[in-house]
Copies of this chain bind each other. A is one copy, B any other.
Amino acid sequence: MTNIRDIAKMAGVSVTTVSRVLNDHPYVKDDKREAVLNAIEKCNYQKNINAVHLRTGKTLLIGIVLPFSDHPYFTLLIKGIAQEALKQNYKLVLFQTNYQESKEIEALDMLKHKLIDAVIICSRICDWSIINEYTQYGSIILCEDTRGKKVSSTFIDHYKSFLFALDYLYKKGHSKIGYCIGRRSGTNSQQRELAYKDFLKKINVPFNSEYIFDDCLNFEDGEQVINQIKTMNTPPSALLVTSDQVAAGIVTCCQNQNISIPDELALIGFDNQPISEYMNITTIDIPLVEIGRKLFIQAFQEYITNEEIPARLIERKTV
């Protein structure tokens, strides 16, 4: 790729001179200007629009921080963000962190250095105090409850929706209820664990850590869950499964092993992904595309807003 240095070499002038010509600076001699313009013409050099960005202070790029780009939960969020971005001529810059703190900070540093206009953090690993430091540099939007903090957010009340689903299973006769979670240490997961423990206290059932299945993210993790359950003396009779992908994996595994759903094991998935509809999985609808759209809009609002999106139960055939 031709850069300003190549042009300078071709024209036999300094880089500073090329820069002055590009920026219509007055202190350039005519013959040097001519040489630079000829060199530019010769190699089809386009004036770098980054120079324009310097003037407007806008890059029309928005950073998206997410652990993986190949999970339906995140691809649906991205879909919503992309829909709004398209309307406003913004491009998405993906920061796939694999939950490495340093990768998250890289996105925040790009905001600080004006390389992107805003950052949407779909799921974070960094402590809030770190993110808080960066709020002075530009718009940071989160997909979790940030009420009382200095950033906008669109979120599901995971405590409330988890408790609702647990109560629903209890009313259907279940008291041995376990759950599958993607990353137990996550912010949303902590709210869910709190709801779970409060629910157990309410129905007077002791907490059993065996009933929490961690690292459940994909279809194939469903089989792991069933294998674990089969080794238990007192297996759960119902599971909340925080991803429909995992719930679909559990249903498929149960079909292969002749475990009857919902008689032997009841299931509630989360997200209402297309697969849950086609596999008839009862699920908690989380409108991820809508949430994605709202996150983008919030990124360019002048005031801070925190919007809670209601989740709702969709009754199908697995409870």
CA distance A69 to B86 in the complex (A): 13
Contact of B3 with A57 in the complex, beta carbons under 8 Å: yes
Contact of B95 with A49 in the complex, beta carbons under 8 Å: no
Interface string of A22-49 (1 = CB under 8 A from B): 0100010000000000000000101111
Contact of B54 with A82 in the complex, beta carbons under 8 Å: no
Report B-chain residues with C-beta under 8 Å of the C-beta of A59. Answer: 50
Q: Does A230 contact B (CB under 8 A)?
A: no
Contact of A1 with B50 in the complex, beta carbons under 8 Å: no
Contact of B114 with A46 in the complex, beta carbons under 8 Å: yes
How far in angstroms is the closest Cβ of chain B from A59? Answer: 7
CA distance A219 to B54 in the complex (A): 46
Q: Does A252 contact B (CB under 8 A)?
A: yes
Q: Which partner residue on chain B sits nearest A64 by CB separation?
A: B94
Q: Does A305 contact B (CB under 8 A)?
A: no
Contact of A54 with B19 in the complex, beta carbons under 8 Å: yes
Interface string of A1-20 (1 = CB under 8 A from B): 11111100000000100010
Report B-chain residues with C-beta under 8 Å of the C-beta of A279. Answer: 252
Q: How many copies of this chain does the complex contain?
A: 2
Report B-chain residues with C-beta under 8 Å of the C-beta of A27. Answer: 27
Q: Which partner residue on chain B sits nearest A6 by CB separation?
A: B57
Report B-chain residues with C-beta under 8 Å of the C-beta of A237. Answer: none
Contact of A113 with B49 in the complex, beta carbons under 8 Å: yes
List A112-126 residues whose CB lies under 8 Å from chain B: 112-115, 117
Contact partner, A4, options B2, B4, B57, B220, Cβ 8 Å: B57
Q: Does A274 contact B (CB under 8 A)?
A: yes
Contact of A82 with B56 in the complex, beta carbons under 8 Å: no
Q: Does A171 contact B (CB under 8 A)?
A: no
CA distance A212 to B237 in the complex (A): 45
Q: Point out which of A46, A47, A70 has the most chain B C-beta atoms below 10 A from its C-beta.
A: A70
Contact of B82 with A86 in the complex, beta carbons under 8 Å: no
Q: Point out which of A23, A56, A69 has the most chain B C-beta atoms below 10 A from its C-beta.
A: A69
Report B-chain residues with C-beta under 8 Å of the C-beta of A94. Answer: 78, 82, 91-94
Report B-chain residues with C-beta under 8 Å of the C-beta of A115. Answer: 48-50
Report B-chain residues with C-beta under 8 Å of the C-beta of A278. Answer: 219-220, 222-223, 249, 252-253
CA distance A313 to B154 in the complex (A): 44
Contact of A54 with B61 in the complex, beta carbons under 8 Å: no
Q: Point out which of A53, A92, A94, A110 has the most chain B C-beta atoms below 10 A from its C-beta.
A: A94
Contact partner, A1, options B2, B93, B117, Cβ 8 Å: B117
Given contacts A70-B75, A92-B93, A218-B274, 6 further A-B contacts (CB under 8 A): A1-B117, A2-B57, A49-B114, A70-B78, A219-B274, A219-B275
25 A-B pairs with CB atoms under 8 Å apart are: A1-B57, A1-B114, A1-B138, A4-B54, A4-B55, A6-B57, A15-B55, A47-B113, A48-B57, A50-B59, A50-B115, A68-B79, A69-B75, A69-B78, A70-B75, A75-B75, A82-B96, A86-B103, A91-B110, A92-B96, A94-B94, A219-B274, A219-B275, A252-B278, A253-B278
